[in-house]
Structure formats: structure tokens, C-alpha cells
Structure 1
Amino acid sequence: MERLRPQVVVMDIRLPGHSGIDACRDITARWPETRVIMLTSYAEDKRLFDAIAAGASGYVLKQIDSDDLVRAIERVGRGEAVLDPTLTPKVLQRVREAEHSRPETAFRVLTERELEILARLAEGKTNREIAQELFLSHKAVRNYVSTVLQKLGMANRTEAAAYAIHHHLDEYLSKD
């Protein structure tokens, strides 16, 4: 490898006694200009995302025909990324999940008042306690809770509280 300095390496994800993903990580760390295409028969999410994280520029399944493989090598050689089309939905779903897990995205549909209500739900407060703290009527709090649940697509206040905790609402609110 040191002597040849290939522009593109096509590597099986499973190597005897070594992981192709580890080898990809080593290659891209040592020779950042070298691109790696992982060639595999596995369409598993974990291996796909591990390969991407390791620096792979391409991930193709072994069912690819030889002409398509040559085109993939050429594309990666030009600096493009190549992904087997059957795996694209998995990548898109993962990106969507990552985007929705970011606090600024997770709570963007809520107003400031609704965020205050959700924060108190996450603390386990009742509608009456929330009403007293925020100087609102019990009915207003009930309406806010319903709106929060509807906007977040939650079935109940426990689910909303878990969502708030999981997405670090407290950290999100402390940034302001």
C-alpha cells in the first residue's frame, strides 16, 4: 500500500483475521487521499454505518455487475460517494432520525409557553401545579398540554415527558 498509493481501494468488509472496516479506518487515516469502497454481501445497518464512519467513500453489495462496479470505482476516484441504491432508504432514515434527535429540531414546533409546559411535564408536575407556577388557569394548562401532545405526536403526558428528557429539553432551555 505504501509503495503503490492507490487512488481507490475496493475492499471486502470481511477479511481473514481482520475487519475490512478496521482496515478502511487505517487506510483513510494514514492516506486520506485514498478512497475506499466496501464490497460486501451484507446489507446490515450496523456494517453500513460503521463503514461510513470509518471513512468509506463507497458501499456496494457483491451482487453489483462488473460494469456498475467499474463505474462506482471511477466515481469514487473523482471524489464522489457511492452507495448501493437498495441501501439509500436506510441512510435517509438514519439522517432523519439524527435530525429529529437534535434538541433544536426536536422542539422547534413548540412555542416558548409550550416548552415551559413540557419542561414541567418532564418534572412530573400536575396540571394544577403547572397552573400555579405559571400563573395560568387549570383549563389553559390542560389546553397547552393537549397542544404539546398533538404537536409532538404523543399519546400521553408520560410519553411527552420521556421525549423531553431523551432530547435534553433542560439543556435546550438553558441555552437561551
Structure 2
Amino acid sequence: MDACREIKNFLSSTNLIMLTSFDDEDEVYESILAGASGYVLKEIDSQHLIQTIETVAAGKSALDPSITDKVLKNIRKNAAEKEGLSQLTSQEKQILSLIAKGRTNREIAVTMILSEKTIRNYVSLILEKLNLHNRTEAAAYALQHHPERLKH
């Protein structure tokens, strides 16, 4: 990764291919952010390697097919998770944020000047909208999806 960054810093128009044994998504993303235009696994056969080199030399990007599938699944998952959060009203986001801070329904009710029963109803709606099963999952979801997005 460091070598890729250094090459791109000095020769920004150079197209780089990462040839690696790592099929981890994080490695792929880090390579892309470092400036790589291609990412292939060492098991690649010579014909596909030549195709990849030609593709990248032509200014296009190339990913190993097995990695492409993982990346696309991750993108879909992230999009679905963002969509879930966007379904919440500002009040529901505020309640979710308070759940993530470990507040009880009673504490949330006092903070928001609502009844505890109303908060229970909101929590049920939030769980349903996000397809979660309990408060613990809701708290984990909130923390995982950037608490700053939950500000009202």
C-alpha cells in the first residue's frame, strides 16, 4: 500500500495493479484508496493477467471476479443499512441515539418530555423499520452507523 501511494504521489498518471494473495475487502478498499486501478489475486492465470494489464493500461479499472462479488455485496449491504437509517424520523433518530447511550425508556421519556408508553411505541417502530430484534441490536446498529448521522 505504501509503495502504491508513493508511486501515485510521484507519478500520478501511472496506472497500478495490486497482485496479491489477500482477498480481504479491507485490503481491496485500502488499495483503491492508495491509488490502485487493478486488484488481482496471485492465482490468476496468465491470460487473465494480460487482460488485466491491458485493461488498466487503457485507463480502466479491474478487479478479480471473486473480489468483485464481495465488494458488490458490501456496497449493497451498506446501501441497505443507510436506507434503513434514512427511514427514521428525526425523533426516532434521537431516541435511537439515546438507546445507544444506554438510556432506559423512562430516561428517554423524561429527556424528550413524552410518556414511557410513547417511547416504548417508538422503540418498537424503530426496531421494525431497521429489522432489528431488541434494544441491544438497536444500540449496536446506532453505534456502527455513525452516531453523527443520528443527530436531529
CA contact (8 A) 1:106 1:167 kept: no
Alpha-carbon distance, 1:77 to partner:
1.3
Which position in structure 1 is the counterpart of 2:149? 172
CA contact (8 A) 2:142 2:150 kept: no
Which position in structure 2 is the counterpart of 1:72? 52
2:98 pairs with 1:120: yes
More deviation, 27-36/134-143:
134-143
Alpha-carbon distance, 1:85 to partner:
0.4
Q: What number of residue pairs does the alignment pair up?
A: 152
CA contact (8 A) 1:24 1:56 kept: yes
Which structure: larger Rg? 1
TM-score by length of 2: 0.78
Task: Quickly say closer, same or farther: Cα 1:129–1:38, change in 2 above 3 A.
Answer: closer
Give the whole-Å Cα distance in 2 for the aligned partners of 1:61 and 1:123: 42
TM-score by length of 1: 0.69
Which position in structure 2 is the counterpart of 1:22? 2
**Structure with higher RCO (Cα < 8 A, 6+ apart):** 2
CA contact (8 A) 1:43 1:87 kept: yes
CA contact (8 A) 1:41 1:61 kept: yes
Alpha-carbon distance, 1:73 to partner:
1.5
CA contact (8 A) 2:84 2:129 kept: no
Matches within 5 A, 1:19-168: 21-96=1-76, 107-168=85-146
Task: Quickly say closer, same or farther: Cα 1:142–1:63, change in 2 above 3 A.
Answer: same
Q: Give unmatched runs, 5+ long, in structure 1.
A: 1-20
Look up the equivalent residue of 1:67 and give its one-letter code.
Q
Alpha-carbon distance, 1:114 to partner:
1.5
Alpha-carbon distance, 1:79 to partner:
0.9
More helix by percentage: 2
Task: Quickly say closer, same or farther: Cα 1:44–1:159, change in 2 above 3 A.
Answer: closer
Task: Quickly say closer, same or farther: Cα 1:50–1:141, change in 2 above 3 A.
Answer: closer
Alpha-carbon distance, 1:109 to partner:
1.5
Alpha-carbon distance, 1:87 to partner:
0.8
Look up the equivalent residue of 2:5 and give its one-letter code.
R
| Identical residues among aligned pairs (%) | 49
